[in-house]
């Protein structure tokens, strides 16, 4: 993974965190907007910068699984097994919290979300800092996550002084979140690590959180959304629908998995990779580009039903929720 972060940059970021200020940093999923997780004032600044409601909890990032005990009250065998297999990596575990964890981090819940990121810059930062870094995705509340340092600057301008540039995030979508605080491990948010992979480690079926009863922000129905209304469309209908909308005088953007661009004025055409890993890697950058095209609608080709597309479908469904109704 290429990045331009020097030892001095890390030292400066650590000083900023210790000062109670915010640092945006790369992880392998998306960029995080980090604060010292044990400093209540610093954590409040994260909510203020994002415009995020205070009851939506943050993920605490730590350098390694040994640090779990500093934050979690109870670590069940399922959590140990998942941590052993997938950390460092794009997996977040929700565990019973211990008394030291500020309410500001947990949204007042009796659980805490923990992750050991694998990105080398996140690892260097966490090791140099020593403590936990509470970090949600580095985007304004409800908006498309940032997968480059450039995106972070687009979101926050000068409001976040310290941005570590670790290049484009590898995975491109947020971590898989598994709640291990109850009797049955439960999938709270799909991510690159699939339910099937988790079940292979757990040896038992994973419960899936009731989508109708969201507890937390990453699971709000409308989330990860560009400003332009977005519609999911079956592949063979994209061109037809685009044509008819353009005929009605609409400006149309399309995100498709074929490079064959139809000849049509008034159409912004972005070709995405046809494999799930490539598609996820580029997804948020593509949504930002399509949003900035200033069209009336974004048509997105419906992804395949296969397991590796599960988290991508989840993000696109949330990006679609509530949009599109001002089309006619």
Site of interaction with Mg ion (CB under 5 A): 137
- Note whether 297 binds ligand AMP by CB under 6 A: no
Regarding 185 and contact with ligand AMP (CB under 6 A), the answer is: no
Pick from 137, 147, 148, 228 the residue near ligand AMP by CB under 6 A: 137
Which one of ligand AMP, Mg ion, none interacts with residue 93, CB within 5 to 8 A by kind? Answer: none
What CA–CA distance (Å, rounded) separates 311 from 86?
17
Asked whether position 27 contacts ligand AMP by CB under 6 A, the answer is: no
Angstrom CA distances, 236 to 95, 248, 258, 300, stand at: 44, 20, 11, 12
Walk across the sheet containing 267-271 and list its strands. Answer: 230-233, 297-301, 252-256, 267-271
Interface with ligand AMP, residue 177, by CB under 6 A:
yes
Which residue is nearest to Mg ion, using beta carbons?
137
Judging by DSSP bridges, how do beta strands 267-271 and 230-233 pair with one another? unpaired
User: Using CB under 6 A, which residues numbered 216 to 235 contact ligand AMP?
Assistant: 216-219
- How many residues touch ligand AMP under the rule CB under 6 A: the total is 21
CA torsion angle for 2, 6, 11, 13 (degrees, to 10)?
-50
Window of 10-18, 105-113, 191-199, 256-264 that interacts with ligand AMP by CB under 6 A: 105-113
Does 59 bind ligand AMP (CB under 6 A)? Our answer is yes
The crossing angle, in degrees rounded to 10, of helices 310-320 and 276-292 is 20
Task: Give me 166's structure tokens.
Answer: 């670790």
Tell me if 167 sits within 8 A of 278, measured CB to CB: no
Could you tell me if 228 and 253 are in contact, meaning their C-beta atoms sit under 8 angstroms apart?
Answer: yes
* Residue 136 binds to ligand AMP (criterion: CB under 6 A): yes
Q: Could you give the CA distance from residue 278 to residue 26 in angstroms, rounded to a whole number?
A: 18
- In this complex, which beta carbon is closest to ligand AMP, that of residue 43 or of residue 231? 43
Q: Which does 219 bind (CB under 5 to 8 A by kind): Mg ion, ligand AMP, none?
A: ligand AMP
Does 109 interact with ligand AMP (rule: CB under 6 A)? yes
Residues near ligand AMP (CB under 6 A): 56-59, 94, 106, 109, 111-113, 136-137, 174, 177, 188-189, 215-219
């Amino acid at each position: 993974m290429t990045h331009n972060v020097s030892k001095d940059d890390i030292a400066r970021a650590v000083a900023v965190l210790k000062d109670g200020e915010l640092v945006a940093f790369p992880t392998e999923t998306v960029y995080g907007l980090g604060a010292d997780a044990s400093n209540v004032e610093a954590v409040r600044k994260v909510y203020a910068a994002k415009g995020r409601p205070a009851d939506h909890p943050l993920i605490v990032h730590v350098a390694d699984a040994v640090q779990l005990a500093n934050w979690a009250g109870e670590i069940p065998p399922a959590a140990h097994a998942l941590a052993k297999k997938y950390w460092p990596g794009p997996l977040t575990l929700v565990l019973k919290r211990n008394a030291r964890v500020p309410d500001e981090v947990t949204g007042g819940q009796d659980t805490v979300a923990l992750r050991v990121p694998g990105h080398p810059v996140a690892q260097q930062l966490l090791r140099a800092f020593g403590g936990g870094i509470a970090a949600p995705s580095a985007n304004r509340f409800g908006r498309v996550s940032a997968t480059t340092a450039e995106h972070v600057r687009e979101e926050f301008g000068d409001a976040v002084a310290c941005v570590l540039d670790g290049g484009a995030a590898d995975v491109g979508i947020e971590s898989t979140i598994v709640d291990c605080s109850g009797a049955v491990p439960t999938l709270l948010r799909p991510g690159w690590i699939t339910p099937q992979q988790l079940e292979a480690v757990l040896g038992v079926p994973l419960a899936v959180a009731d989508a109708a009863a969201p507890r937390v922000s990453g699971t709000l129905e409308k989330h990860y959304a560009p400003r332009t209304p977005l519609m999911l469309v079956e592949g063979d209908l994209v061109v037809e629908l685009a044509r008819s909308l353009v005929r009605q005088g609409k400006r149309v953007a399309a995100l498709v998995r074929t490079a064959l661009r139809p000849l049509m004025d008034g159409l912004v055409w972005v070709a995405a990779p046809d494999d799930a890993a490539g598609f996820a890697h580029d997804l948020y950058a593509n949504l930002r580009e399509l949003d900035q095209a200033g069209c009336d609608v974004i048509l997105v080709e419906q992804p395949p039903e296969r397991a590796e597309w599960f988290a991508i479908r989840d993000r696109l469904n949330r990006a679609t929720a509530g949009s599109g109704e001002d089309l006619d």
